[in-house]
Each structure stands twice: as structure tokens, then as C-alpha cells.
A and B are shown apart, each in its own frame.
Chain A
Amino acid sequence: MARLKIESLRKSFAATTAVDDFSLDVGDGELVCLLGPSGSGKSTILRMIGGFEQPTSGMIRIDGQDVTRLSPERRPTGMVFQSHALWSHMNVFNNIAFGLKLRSLSRGEIQRKVDQALELVGLAGYGHRQTFQLSGGQQQRVALARSLVLEPKILLLDEPFASLDQHLRERLREEVRDIQQRLGITTLFVTHGQDEALAMADRIVVLRNGQCEQVDAPDVLYRNPQTEFVAGFIGQMNFLSANVEGGRFRHPDFTLDVEVQDGPAVLALRPEALRLEPSDSPDAAGVTRATDFGSHIMVDVELRDGARLKVMTAPDARWQKGQTVRLAASAFALYRQNRLLARGGLPVETVEGRSRHALA
């Protein structure tokens, strides 16, 4: 129903820059997640779109209309806050009806729309309840209904599930995704939880220090992170630092032929891209812990230089603490100064005695 276009958005507070030259296009009906650690500027971006913060510079357009300087009540956006921010002196009906009353709709029309909105979020018949009589999940649903009832062009969700427990969070995010798909409403979603982002988003924007690190679909982001930060932030990742000399990444345990300039580099290996094999060599890596997650077992391995790696193994594999092992990697990525240098699917493995790059 609506497109959102953000151009070189910048926001500075006194001495710090919260958002630095941020641009983004959100397509009609798309759900885009802003993902980042706290202080990455994701909430500030959302609040600027909602009109609660004024950008220092830049432009925000909704369906081509410049809304950058409009006050929140004049914007076609609907915001759901982390704390749900329901008005505790009004019951559920009046919370949802407040915005409709401001638009001076008829009583019948208001009643019909509120009932519809309550139905949509699965709370039909809850209109007469007081907000404090509801559970955390129900309160957040009412907050969602309060925004949706006004049929905003852009829905803004600011960590809406952060205060809920794990199970509820998972259920609610499926429901919200469902509703969003059904209404086809363009949605921006702020979260610091990567699984929330991976589960809900069409595209994810990874933010750090107010700057965009990467924008991509969840699967691309996970499989092809463009920066070391994204690699470490999305999913689990093992990092090994060493120097590249003469076209070879020289770590005591992992060596790798790469066609990059000499200098320091960081090798990134996903736990599921690593394989374990028993080894008898006296200076092989050792297992320090094996944690059974049911669906898989996560094995912590300590290399000879003290570096620790996590290796994901099948649930039927049994690894004992202290056992010596050999590692093999089926995929890798190499970063220097947060930029991707090279990546590939070549098998890399540790070898007893001296390490070598195994060509298979």
C-alpha cells in the first residue's frame, strides 16, 4: 500500500552521531527489520520515521510525499512501542477508539472498526476490559490493534516483544507476521534479537554505530555476510586471526591459500561448516566441552594456541572432554578491517604436526 524512502538520514545528539548517512528503500508491503546492538541507532531511525525525533539532515518520503518535518500526528505512520504504552486510564475499547474519535467518525463506525481490529489481533470481546487486567502479550496485541485500526501506510514496531517471555515472543511474532502479510502493510521492525529478525523479515538491515553494515534477505545475510561485524552478529561464528603472507593465510592450525594482499586477516568459520574427527596426535586440538541441544551437539574445541572454536555436530555423535580432535572446514570467509576479502567452500583442515591447506 505504501513505499518508504529514506535518503541520507543523519541524527546528531550533542557530541555523538546516532545515525550517520542512512538510506533505505522499503517496498510496498515489505517487512524490513532494523537489527543491531543497543546504541546502533535503530530505534532513533524508527523514531525519526514516526516523527518523534527530528533528523539533523536527510529526507523521509512516504509514497513520494516528504514527511521529514511533519509532526507525528500528521504522519501516516502507526507505532507500536516496546512498553506497549497503553493508556491505563482507559479500557481496551477506548484505547483503540481514541484515534478514531479524533477523526470524528460516527459511533457506529467506531464500534465496527474497533471490533474488527480486536478480531484481527485475536481479542474479540475484550473491549470492556481494563488494560491492567490483560497479560503482557494481550497488552501488546491491543497496542497493535490501536495502531492498525487507523490503517496507517507504514507500521513501525519498536522492539514490541522485548518484554515478553520466549514462548510468547515466538508465538506473537508469527501472528504479527501473519497479520502483516494479510493486510499487506509496509512494516519497519526494530529488534536486537537476530532470530526475531530472521524469522520475520523480508529484508534485514544490520546497523552498527548508526551506520548500515548490510541490507539483505535473511538467508543471504546469514550465508554471505559482507562484513566481519555482520558475520559475528548473525548466527554463531568462529573467528581466527592471523597474517596473510605470500598468498597464504598462516594460522598455526589453519592455513589457507588465498589470493589477497599480505597483511592481517580474520578467518570466519560457521560451527556447522566445521567437522570433527578423532586424532591421536599429541599436539592436536582438544575438546573442552560438549553441550547437547537435542537437535545438535555444540562442541567447544581449544586449539593449541588457545583459540576456542565451536563446532556443531550431529546429535548422535559423542565427544568426550579432553579428547583430541582434528578439524575440517567446508566453508570459510576472510575479512580484513571489517571488509570481506575472500570466501569459499574449499575444505580447510587442521593437520597433526604442521597444518596445511588440504585440496580435496
Chain B
Amino acid sequence: MIRSYSSTSGRFDWMGLAFAILLVIVIAVPLLVVFTWAFTEVWRYPSVIPQKFGLRFWDQTLSRADVWEALFISLRLSATVTALSALICLPAAYAFARMKFPGRDLFFLSFLASHAFPKFGLLVAIAAIFLQLNLIATFWGVVLIQLVGTLMLMIWIPVAAFQAVDRRMEEAARDVGAGPLRVFWSITLPQAGPTIFAAVLLTFVSTFYETEGAWLIGAPQIRTMPVLMINFINNQVVVQYGAVLSVILWVPSFIALIFARRVIGTGSFAKGFGA
């Protein structure tokens, strides 16, 4: 129950309560329904709560080979994409944050350009190119398409993180005898670390859930968890398969977010976007 009192007047904050209830309806109720379905065996129309709870569909879902295959493909994809993205973007982010070079702003914008167009249109265009390159329905094809989507997050947040590192700290390290590389390793990276970690985590999670690209490029051979979930929801009469997968899919992001909150101060995300 959320009860909030305005600290200044001491009067009950009806507005706050109204917003809280609205948020609960919009966010929590659908989650609750999916959650309930996942643990339901029988739930027929007039009844408000299911007639029979049980784990039968968990059993059935988890015993399917395609579910496990999709899970491992998703994990492998997310890990590969995140690693590649970090490899490309972090040095670039450092360059954008610290160095002056001709065309800097243009390059910076080019990393963000993939988000300036309607996503699906862009995907279809890329798919046409991939078709010629024989990348359709391959693991690396999906890696490439998902990589494009991660660039913005992986550039934007680390650039802000590197910019937020006090130049004087780096200079102080040079002053006591550290070379440029040592300064980067011992001062800049640890200072920017938590925020960059947040970017890596966000990238991993968003890649894990990315659906359109994975479906358009990967189908039918490469089926990730979200793609499989959509298949289940679209093609199966049994609601529970989709619900169980949804709940399973919800777990990694939940863990990631909890972890992120513990590791990073609340300011880091804001810093990332506020530049």
C-alpha cells in the first residue's frame, strides 16, 4: 500500500495516490495476469481466479528442446553482441570524450544515426543487403543487426562517463609519474567504471530482449527466446506456454536491474543521459 504525505503541509497527498494507483493499474496488473497464467492449469471464463494452480506447464515448457536451444542462443548472442559493442564503442567513446579531431561531431552523430530512422524500415533495408551477403539466418547476421541497435547506448553513456572524470585527477596521476596508458588504466577507467558497467548491463539486457532484428534476420534457423515466445503466443492455443516463457524472460532483466542498482549510485544513469 502506498501512502504518501506531503512533507510541507502534512495533508494527505491525493494527487500522489491517484498517480500511484494509475501506475499500479498500468504496470502491475498486466504483470500480475501473466504471472498468474504461468502458474495456472485451469482458468475458465466466468471465474476471477484460476480454478487450478500448478506447475504442469513449467514442466512441459522446460522439457522442450527448442526452449533450451533458444535460451542458449540468446545468451550467446547477447554476450557476443555486448562484447563486440564494448570493444568498438568504449575506445570510440574515450576518443569522443577526450580528444579533438576533425569531424568529431559528425562521427559522433553517425553512431546515433541508426536511431534516427524508423527501425523496421532500416531493418528491412539491411535485411536486403544481408540477403546478398548470405548473412540471413546466420548467427553472425543477427549479431551484426543487433550490434547496430546497441551503438547509441554504448557510445552515449560512456562518453558522458569519460567526460565526467575530472581532468585534474588524470593530470595529478601524470604528475606523480604515470604514463598516459597507466593513467587510463588506474584512474580514468575506475572512475568511469560504474557508469560504463551500467551501459554494458543495459546493452546486454536490451540485446537479450531484442526481437524485430533477430526475427527478421535470424528466422527460421536462429530463434532467440523472445522470438520463440512470440511464436508460442501467436501459434499455440495454450496461453500458459507464452506466460511461462514471459516469466522466465523477466528473470534476467530483474536480476540485472537489482545488480545495477546495488553497483551504481542512482546518479549514474542520470549522469549518462544528462551529459
Check B171 against A52 for contact (C-beta < 8 Å): yes
Chain A residues near B172 (CB, 8 Å)? 79, 81, 85-87, 143, 146
Determine which of B169, B171, B182 lies in contact with A72 in the assembled complex, contact meaning CB atoms within 8 Å.
B171
Q: Which of chain A's residues have a CB closer than 8 A to the CB of B105?
A: none
Bound complex: CA of A102 vs CA of B176, how far in Å?
A: 8
B182 and A102 form a contact (CB under 8 A): yes
Chain B's closest residue to A158 (CB) is B168
Residues of B within 8 A of A71 (CB): 174
Checking B168, B177, B191, B193 against A102 with a beta-carbon cut-off of 8 angstroms, the contacting residue is B177
Is the CB–CB distance between B187 and A73 below 8 Å? no
Does A23 belong to the interface (CB within 8 Å)? no
Q: Which of B177, B182, B187, B190 has the most CB of A within 10 A?
A: B177
Task: Report if A258 contacts B (CB, 8 A).
Answer: no
Interface residues on B, range: 10 to 19
A123 at interface by CB-CB < 8 Å: no
B187 surroundings in chain A (CB, below 8 A): 87
A147–B190 Cα gap in the complex (Å)? 21
Q: How far is the CA of A82 from the CA of B178 in the complex (A)?
A: 20
Q: A85 with B166: in contact, given A73-B179, A146-B172, A147-B175 (CB under 8 Å)?
A: yes
Residue tally, chain A, CB below 8 Å to B: 25
Contacts of A143 in B (CB 8 A): 172
Query: How close is A85's CB to chain B, nearest CB, in angstroms?
Result: 4
Chain B residues near A103: list those with CB within 8 A.
177
The interface bits of chain A over 77-105 (1 if a CB of B lies within 8 angstroms of the residue's CB, else 0) are 11101110111110000000011001100
* B60 beta carbon closer than 8 Å to chain A: no
Q: Which residues of chain A have C-beta atoms less than 8 A from B178's C-beta?
A: 73, 98-99, 102
In angstroms, how far is the closest chain A Cβ from the Cβ of B25?
42
* Listed A/B pairs (20) with beta-carbon separation below 8 Å: A50-B171, A50-B175, A72-B171, A72-B174, A72-B175, A73-B174, A73-B175, A73-B179, A77-B175, A81-B171, A85-B166, A85-B168, A85-B169, A86-B172, A87-B187, A87-B190, A99-B176, A99-B178, A103-B177, A150-B177
The complex places the Cα of A135 from the Cα of B198 at a distance, in Å, of: 30
* A98→B178 CA distance, assembly (Å): 9
Known: A98-B186, A102-B182. A147 touches B176 (CB 8 A): yes
In the complex the two chains form, what is the Cα distance from A150 to B186 in whole Å?
Answer: 18
Within 8 A of A (CB), among B84-104: none
Instruction: Give residues of chain B (162-205) contacting chain A, Cβ–Cβ below 8 Å.
Output: 166, 168-169, 171-179, 182, 186-187, 190-191, 193
**Cα-based distance from A146 to B191 in the complex (angstroms):** 19
How many Å lie between the Cα of A127 and that of B164 in the bound state?
27
Chain B residue nearest to A81 (CB atoms) is B168
A109 to B148, CA, bound (A): 52
18 further A-B pairs in the complex, CB-CB below 8 A; given A71-B174, A78-B176, A99-B176: A50-B175, A51-B174, A51-B175, A72-B174, A73-B174, A73-B175, A73-B176, A73-B177, A78-B175, A81-B168, A81-B171, A82-B168, A85-B172, A89-B190, A89-B193, A98-B186, A147-B175, A150-B177
